[in-house]
A and B are shown apart, each in its own frame.
Chain A
Amino acid sequence: MRSGVLLRLYIAAVFVFVFAPIVTSMVFSVNSDRFPTVPLGHFTWDWYRTAFARPEVWTAIQNSLIVAACAATLSTLIGFATAYTDYRYGFRFKTAYLALALLPPTIPVVIMGLAMLAWLGRLGLSGTLTGIVIAHTVMAAPFAMAICRLRLNQMDAALEPAAWNLGATQWRAMRAVVIPFCAPALVSAFCLTAAVSFDEFIVAWFVSGLNKTVPVMILEILQGNVDPQINAIGTLVFLTSMTLVIAAQLLIIRRSST
């Protein structure tokens, strides 16, 4: 009994620790005071109004959404293809192949950012949205691969041959069996990689140039002055990412029950 109570308290403390900064930011985004002080002033939507009255905020949101959508689509495609290759084929150096495919998240992001800047600069893509999409795809594809791999491992090894046996060509079986079976994982991977891209700051900061994404723009505003508009924008970014991540999680939970 006693340990049960302690455990609950401990878990509560962990959650408070994790979420307190975000909740604080949310609270101050609707607080009338210019500076984050206690006691609070009165409730207001003013900071949202002023923040979203700025055209550059809208441009940044638009950029972020385009980049997230493209990067998520590409990551999911690449991630699925990589995972399927691992599932379907046995070949020499498979371990090396997997290690390479899963490597990007282990590279320090600053190094990744620098490398991307140098590389994309050579391709004439630095400062373009395409450049950010490429960088984010590199970073997010391994997550998509991990999710797809998880799902493929749950697939009965006979399922695909069963489709061939019933007259489906390899491509047809892919469309009619493998993709439908993996559908929840694909959507989940899309949501998660979109969230990765939407939140990503460092590499985007290196690569983006004038085409700023939301996190990059937040830093620029922050460098100018501390303004509760940041809280307002931050709250929206947080809610967007959380929605995507929760969607991804729900799909994972739902699919493991089948």
Chain B
Amino acid sequence: MTAPLVRLEGVKKSYGDSVAVKGIDLAIGRGEFIAIMGPSGCGKTTTLRMLAGLETPTEGTVTIDGKVMNDVPVHARDTPLVWQSLALFPFLNVAQNVEFGLKMRGVPAKERRQKVATWLDRLGLSDFARRRVDQLSGGQRQRVALARSLVTEPPILLLDEPLSALDAHLVIRMQGVLTKLQRELGITFVYVTHSQSEAFAMADRVVIMGHGEIAQIGRPREIFRAPRNRFVAEFVGRNNILSGTVSGGAIDLGPITVPLPGAADGPAEIVVAADRMKISREAPAAPALAADFVSEEFAGTGIICYFEGPGGEELKAQVSEDELEALDPAPGARFYLTWAPESAHVMTGQS
């Protein structure tokens, strides 16, 4: 990576006694699409607001394009934000909304008109230029908000859960619009969301935040397949978390001992993704967890079956519709869960 566009170093934000962000380090590259994801109250929005200058870090430095931004006021930054509520100006029409940023920056009228026309066209809004924003559909309003933020051609765009108010089918469409736009413009997108489908579908890298700290940074697949700690494993995907003790290339999970090649001896937690769990009616030759069927959940790409494990813990396995039909599980029925040793991922981080 060349010199990063954005660098957060030891950034901390507290309000009186309550700490929203506990000191994070993060470098974001030029042209990178990064998603910051976490449950509500994890500090992701505060982090974004610090990038925009809407909050000042209590400690640490925020650097954008090599310049320390801590004391640069909001209006002097070029870090447009797409708001969760969109925050379109209701008393202005579509074109005037898009023009706003140019006007505030003193761009001459002629140039303003040109740029507004270009961006309206780019986002398919040319026919609505004179419309009031409250006469637009959700998707159109979304595009107005994007045009309004991008018209000044910033090096970075901040997005604060912009799709959370849209219908599911529109979310998918807007995800397409966003990734395409980001690729074409080649600028940095910092996208805050609590939705993992949005984050994993669009981002180059995902930052998982919890309790004001960064729990893990990585490519979507990496985070999905190799969560670093229990927090990430529980937040991302549908994972089975099993704890035990490793000795001599095998892990003792209590009821069974399964091979775990290459793992260091000592206590460990392993993760087996639901889609890597295999279910059988008969006890297989290999060591298997005996579990009682509880319920099933249709999850679009497959069906998640929930079981109660030997220690009363919840276990999940993903099956296809055909498989489910073949198994035909009744509540309380006994099944055996197995997984290939290489499907188990050992978590190294502390929760």
In the bound complex, residues from chain B placing their C-beta under 8 Å from that of A165 are 52, 54, 74-75, 79-81
Q: Which residue of B lies closest to A172 (CB)?
A: B104
Q: How many residues on chain B are close to A (CB under 8 Å)? A: 26
In the bound complex, residues from chain B placing their C-beta under 8 Å from that of A156 are 85, 87
B316 at the interface (CB under 8 A from A): no
Which of A15-23, A175-183, A186-194, A237-245 contacts its partner?
A175-183
- B136 to nearest A CB, angstroms? 14
- Name the one of B87, B91, B103 contacting A162, with C-beta atoms under 8 angstroms: B87
A residues neighboring B (CB under 8 Å): 156, 158-159, 161-170, 172-173, 176-177, 180-181, 183, 258
- A219 to nearest B CB, angstroms? 44
A161 pairs with B74, CB closer than 8 A: yes
B104 pairs with A162, CB closer than 8 A: no
How many contacts A-B (CB < 8 Å)? Answer: 64
Interface centre among A156, A158, A164, A167 (most CB of B within 10 A): A167
B91 pairs with A167, CB closer than 8 A: no
Q: Which residue of B lies closest to A160 (CB)?
A: B87
In the bound complex, residues from chain A placing their C-beta under 8 Å from that of B101 are 166-167
B100 at the interface (CB under 8 A from A): yes
Q: A161-B54, A161-B74 are in contact. Are A168 and B87 (CB under 8 A)?
A: no
Q: Which residue of A lies closest to B54 (CB)?
A: A161
B residues neighboring A (CB under 8 Å): 52, 54, 73-76, 79-81, 83-85, 87, 89-92, 100-101, 103-105, 134, 148-149, 152
B100 pairs with A176, CB closer than 8 A: yes
CA distance A158 to B73 in the complex (A): 17
In the bound complex, residues from chain B placing their C-beta under 8 Å from that of A172 are 75, 104
- Name the one of B74, B91, B92, B148 contacting A164, with C-beta atoms under 8 angstroms: B74
- A169 to nearest B CB, angstroms? 5
- Name the one of B75, B83, B92, B149 contacting A168, with C-beta atoms under 8 angstroms: B75
CA distance A142 to B74 in the complex (A): 33
In the bound complex, residues from chain A placing their C-beta under 8 Å from that of B149 are 166
CA distance A161 to B83 in the complex (A): 10
- B259 to nearest A CB, angstroms? 54
- B11 to nearest A CB, angstroms? 19
Q: A156-B87, A167-B101, A258-B134 are in contact. Are A162 and B81 (CB under 8 A)?
A: yes
In the bound complex, residues from chain A placing their C-beta under 8 Å from that of B91 are 180-181, 183
In the bound complex, residues from chain B placing their C-beta under 8 Å from that of A258 are 90, 134
A158-B83, A163-B104, A181-B90 given; name 6 further pairs at CB < 8 Å: A158-B84, A164-B73, A167-B75, A167-B101, A180-B91, A181-B91
CA distance A176 to B89 in the complex (A): 10
B79 pairs with A166, CB closer than 8 A: no
In the bound complex, residues from chain A placing their C-beta under 8 Å from that of B104 are 163, 166-168, 172, 176
B105 pairs with A167, CB closer than 8 A: yes
Pairs A-B, 6 closest by C-beta atoms: A167-B104, A166-B101, A162-B87, A158-B87, A164-B74, A168-B104
In the bound complex, residues from chain A placing their C-beta under 8 Å from that of B105 are 167
B75 pairs with A159, CB closer than 8 A: no
CA distance A181 to B90 in the complex (A): 8
A159 pairs with B54, CB closer than 8 A: no
- Name the one of A166, A169, A181 contacting B100, with C-beta atoms under 8 angstroms: A166
- B79 to nearest A CB, angstroms? 7
Q: Which residue of B lies closest to A257 (CB)?
A: B134
In the bound complex, residues from chain B placing their C-beta under 8 Å from that of A181 are 89-91
- Name the one of A159, A170, A176, A183 contacting B87, with C-beta atoms under 8 angstroms: A159
Interface centre among B54, B83, B148 (most CB of A within 10 A): B83
CA distance A181 to B88 in the complex (A): 12
